[in-house]
Amino acid sequence: MEKETSLLTRALQKDLSLVPLPNSSFEQLRSSLASHINHLINHDFEKLVFYLYRIDVDEARMRALLAHKEGNDAPVLIADLIIERQLQKIKSRTASAKDEDIPDEERW
């Protein structure tokens, strides 16, 4: 989990310009991201939309989740969707890197 959190931290720094505290735990990272999203909602909504598009958060899923969980803390819900998407990308890259280790004659 520590390596995953480290990779997630780097992805969030790159894609969202988020600078969490060094050696942040997963929960601290999530909280920092939710706070950053809250700031963007209140002060630069266009930038938030740009980030969500760039990260490729499923818009329909986000809208449905926000509508279904109305009254809940929207920044936390959005942060969870961003984290989920970033972790999917990390796993995909890791799997892709493993595929590169396969000799050409054994590839499909």
Note the pLDDT tens digit of each residue in 64-106: 998 988 777 999 999 999 999 999 999 988 887 776 666 666 6
Domain with 70, as residue range(s), is: 2-89
9 domain-assigned: yes
If one counts the domains in the chain, the total is 1
70 domain-assigned: yes
41 domain-assigned: yes
Bigger pLDDT: 25 or 97?
25
CA distances from 7 to 48, 56, 82, 99, 102 (A): 21, 18, 14, 19, 24
108 domain-assigned: no
pTM here is 0.83
Q: Is 86 in contact with 12 (CB distance < 8 Å)?
A: yes
97 domain-assigned: no
Note the pLDDT tens digit of each residue in 27-67: 999 999 999 999 999 999 999 999 999 999 999 999 999 89
